[in-house]
Chains A and B, each alone.
Chain A
Amino acid sequence: MSIPAWILDIFAAVMLLVAAVSAGQLVVARAWTRAGARDADIALSHLLMGIAMAGTLVASLSTLPNAAWEVIFAVMTAWFAWYLWRETRGQGAGALVSGHHAPHLLHSAAMLYMFAALAGPAAGGGSGMAGLATGSSGGMQTLHAPTLALVFALLLIAYSVRDVDRKACADGYFHVVGRHFTPAGPALATAVAGVTGQGGPAGLAGGGDSAVATMLQPEAAEVSSGDLVTSPVNASPPERLLLCPAVVKGCRVAMGVTMAFMLLIMI
């Protein structure tokens, strides 16, 4: 017996939800405009990964052939690797762990590996997913180089745990959100100073508490910040929900855990 279909369905549903949220973020942030394009690549990558993973988990949700996904995720991996390389020039090797694009590079590379390493249905009914883009054959899929799958899974779990631990919006977690709720750097300092009535937040260097303070008083932050595009005060509740840092964070954690799940059950 393989994994019950309803469990795969649940994971696929979560991935579709992540994809829908990402699509909503792109729309709300007006990603097609110059002002809204910043970090749209991240939301777009989440959208594509959500669709790809849902199709991998449940055959009936499959949209593109595996080869197409390989190309897409190869481009995405190269894209984030380029950005991460630029970050390492500014921040040093630490960016490889804590850089803004590091987790997205990991997600893209894991997806690329997953599609590139897919083997045929296992003969003996070992681990794997019945609905793994095999159409109606119902065959089990496994991965070549399973050690790499374990390495990717461990890294994904490590990043997911780190994401859960971090306060939403800490260190510019997601700039599409950040533009609405958490102005970075000097703007944040000014904004929180406006909230607290002091010269600046004591915990500004750490970022976490300040970010929370700003989240609690978003209108004060945007009044003080010159580069905010959209007003959260004027945003509709669905827009605010879509751009809520906790939702963005939850999407990334859900994606990381689901990806680790897929890699491990295909070993």
Chain B
Amino acid sequence: MSDTVAGRSRAAARDRLDAAGASAAGLDVRRALQLGLAAIWLLDGVLQYQSFMFTKAFGQMLAATSPGNPGIVSSPIDWNATLIEHHMVLLNAIFATVQLLLGLGIAYRPTVRLALAASIVWALGVWWFGEGLGGVLSGVADPVNGAPGAAIIYALLAVLLWPSDRPVPSGAPAPFVAAHAVGAQVARALWLGLWGSLAYFALTPANRAPQALHDMIAGMESGEPGWLAALDKHSAALVANQGLAASIVLAIALAIVAVGVYLPAPVAKATLVLALVVAGVIWVVGEAFGTILTGGGTDPNSGPLLALLALAYWPLAAAAKPRADRSLADDRPEGITA
């Protein structure tokens, strides 16, 4: 009896230690990911200072996201684009500075909550007024070119990396970093919704047309350095007239990624690696690094954000172990210890 009690105590203590270790490791990883998000915001801010953003072309670029959207969505976009064209220097300088401050604010520990909260509001505003809701409602959303809009992923990351820990009744550690703030179930549902929507967008008529992917990639060549233009040219040639097949392959890959977080840890890791690879290919080939190298990119686009998101779902080592131990222990009758 005493052995049993002592065994239980030891197991409980070990679980508590494992949970504490997992929690500490999770927090460290979360801070690292917050800094990654801060770096991207800082990059956004600096890019917003480029000379292109102080021209009427910037306002016209924003206005181009309006067509195809419902009136209630497009009217504010048009109004905003006109406003920016009329006051482009002042407003763009404010935009750039705000994004710079968001990056620095997230990186600075005492202001991380304030900056993350502000980044959510800002990102949602940019998603609507700057990206036309990512083309989700206008039917032009393309996962290879930034759908469902990079800005909404900024907001999602800010929520998932929020520096608080949702209490878990069982006391078990969060299985991955993104689960700390909103809980594992909600985090998994958000992941499924995002990557599932990407899989859906890959199969929309506009994206599965024979030359759709080819034309999109080929269109990225202009203004890029020689090596990137050559890469885009060859990639475009590879998918010429293969739009439907490429869309199906991409949709399958995205769907596997979407459900991956519900699978056991080893399989989930494999699907997360797939997510990282997909994000990398999208960023380099489909988004050409957000066209930063042309001098006209406002942000690095969705590739790095998707990669950051995937890392937030990477199973925490210390969390997986006690769960495996617990599943074994749960099978044993009460009172029997190893």
Give the contact stretch, choosing among B41-49, B67-75, B164-172, B275-283.
B41-49
Asked if A230 lies at the interface with its beta carbon under 8 angstroms from chain B, I say no
Residues of B within 8 A of A161 (CB): 35, 38-39, 42, 103, 107
* Chain B interface bracket (under 10, 10 to 19, 20 to 34, 35 or more): 20 to 34
Please, which residue of chain B has its CB at the minimum distance from the CB of A266?
B295
**Do B108 and A7 touch (CB < 8 A)?**
no
**Do A126 and B35 touch (CB < 8 A)?**
no
Give Cα A264–Cα B38 distance, bound, in whole angstroms. Answer: 17
Asked if A164 lies at the interface with its beta carbon under 8 angstroms from chain B, I say yes
**Do B46 and A257 touch (CB < 8 A)?**
yes
Please, which residue of chain B has its CB at the minimum distance from the CB of A148?
B225
Q: Which of A2, A162, A164 contacts B54 (CB 8 A)?
A: A2
Asked if A35 lies at the interface with its beta carbon under 8 angstroms from chain B, I say no
* Residues of chain B in range 241-292 having any CB-CB distance to chain A below 8 Å: 289, 292
Known: A157-B42, A157-B43, A162-B35. A264 touches B50 (CB 8 A): yes
How far apart are B228's CB and chain A's nearest CB, in angstroms?
A: 8
Known: A2-B54, A165-B108, A264-B47. A160 touches B293 (CB 8 A): no
Q: Which of A147, A165, A253, A257 contacts B35 (CB 8 A)?
A: A165
**Do A127 and B107 touch (CB < 8 A)?**
no
Bits for A147-173, please: 1 = Cβ < 8 Å to B, else 0.
100100110011011101100000000
Bits for A117-160, please: 1 = Cβ < 8 Å to B, else 0.
00000000011100000000000100000110010011001101
**Do A1 and B54 touch (CB < 8 A)?**
yes
Asked if A13 lies at the interface with its beta carbon under 8 angstroms from chain B, I say no
How far apart are A23's CB and chain B's nearest CB, in angstroms?
A: 25
* Chain A interface bracket (under 10, 10 to 19, 20 to 34, 35 or more): 20 to 34
**Do A267 and B295 touch (CB < 8 A)?**
yes
Please, which residue of chain B has its CB at the minimum distance from the CB of A140?
B51
* Residues of chain B in range 105-136 having any CB-CB distance to chain A below 8 Å: 107-109
Known: A165-B35, A267-B292. A146 touches B225 (CB 8 A): yes
Give Cα A128–Cα B234 distance, bound, in whole angstroms. Answer: 30
**Do A2 and B51 touch (CB < 8 A)?**
yes
* Residues of chain A in range 44-76 having any CB-CB distance to chain B below 8 Å: none
Q: Which of A4, A126, A257 contacts B89 (CB 8 A)?
A: A4
Asked if A265 lies at the interface with its beta carbon under 8 angstroms from chain B, I say yes
Asked if B104 lies at the interface with its beta carbon under 8 angstroms from chain A, I say yes
* Residues of chain B in range 16-56 having any CB-CB distance to chain A below 8 Å: 31, 35, 38-39, 42-43, 46-47, 49-52, 54-55
Residues of A within 8 A of B89 (CB): 4
Residues of B within 8 A of A3 (CB): 49-51, 54
**Do A127 and B52 touch (CB < 8 A)?**
yes
Residues of A within 8 A of B52 (CB): 126-127
Known: A147-B225, A147-B293, A157-B42. A7 touches B49 (CB 8 A): yes
Give Cα A176–Cα B34 distance, bound, in whole angstroms. Answer: 31
Asked if B100 lies at the interface with its beta carbon under 8 angstroms from chain A, I say yes
**Do A264 and B292 touch (CB < 8 A)?**
yes
* Residues of chain B in range 62-110 having any CB-CB distance to chain A below 8 Å: 89, 93, 100, 103-104, 107-109
Give Cα A73–Cα B213 distance, bound, in whole angstroms. Answer: 45
Give Cα A4–Cα B50 distance, bound, in whole angstroms. Answer: 10
Residues of A within 8 A of B93 (CB): 4, 7
Give Cα A264–Cα B44 distance, bound, in whole angstroms. Answer: 11
* Residues of chain B in range 272-322 having any CB-CB distance to chain A below 8 Å: 289, 292-296
Give Cα A160–Cα B43 distance, bound, in whole angstroms. Answer: 11
**Do B295 and A126 touch (CB < 8 A)?**
yes
**Do B295 and A261 touch (CB < 8 A)?**
no
Q: Which residues of A pack against B, CB within 8 Å?
A: 1-4, 7, 126-128, 140, 146-147, 150, 153-154, 157-158, 160-162, 164-165, 253, 257, 260-261, 264-265, 267
Q: Which residues of B pack against A, CB within 8 Å?
A: 31, 35, 38-39, 42-43, 46-47, 49-52, 54-55, 89, 93, 100, 103-104, 107-109, 225, 227-228, 289, 292-296
Which 3 A/B pairs are nearest by Cβ-Cβ distance? A127-B295, A164-B107, A161-B107
Known A1-B55, A127-B50, A162-B107; further 7 A-B contacts with Cβ < 8 A: A4-B93, A7-B49, A127-B295, A150-B292, A161-B42, A257-B42, A264-B46
Cβ contacts A to B, 29 pairs, < 8 Å:
A3-B50, A126-B295, A127-B50, A127-B51, A127-B295, A147-B227, A147-B293, A154-B39, A154-B43, A157-B39, A160-B107, A161-B35, A161-B42, A161-B107, A162-B35, A162-B107, A164-B38, A164-B104, A164-B107, A165-B31, A165-B38, A165-B108, A165-B109, A261-B46, A264-B47, A264-B292, A265-B295, A267-B292, A267-B295
